[in-house]
Amino acid sequence: LIGEIPGIFKNISERCKSKNIMKHEIPDQVTINEYDPGQGIGHHVDTHSSFGEEISILSLGTGVTMNFRHPSGVNKSVYLPRRSVVVMRGEARYEWDHGIAARKLDVIDEKVVERGRRLSITMRNVRHDPCKCNWPTLCDSQYDMVMEDSLAPTNIEKEHVHKVRTHYYYCIKYHS
């Protein structure tokens, strides 16, 4: 949906900003994902060219362990309790990737914790100019892509995949 984000998310963003949790402008893009026990999300870095300098993730429902990986091989696991917000900016935003293992249990302080249903509310700003971050070799706005002709994107990919990142999405799973 294109337009202003719904009021509830604006209120959450303003509250985070007033408590100095979020440093940058109020987000103009929100993605909501639902995770049932056993579901995860693959490791990724949110695209540099699509989104701004700060990404905030609010966890609702049950907590979950998020894994962070650095290109140097360093791995960190962070438990995100229910109703917590994790904010990624700087190196954490642009260089470390993050993901959630697909499993039904987490081990927290030597205790086994069952996962339940979780809603992830990701708030960010859509970038309207090229990224100029300090990680040019990892940045799709700054590095020169050298591809063999056979690997170049087709017109269909350009139209239906590459252009998708310029739209705003609110992803909500409804149950009957």
**pLDDT by residue (tens digit) across 89-143?**
999 999 999 999 999 999 999 999 999 999 999 989 889 899 989 988 888 888 6
pLDDT tops 90 at residue 35 = yes
Euclidean distance between CA atoms 80 and 70, whole angstroms = 19
Q: Is there a contact between 116 and 61 (Cβ–Cβ < 8 Å)?
A: yes
pTM confidence score: 0.75
DSSP character at residue 116: -
Euclidean distance between CA atoms 135 and 125, whole angstroms = 19
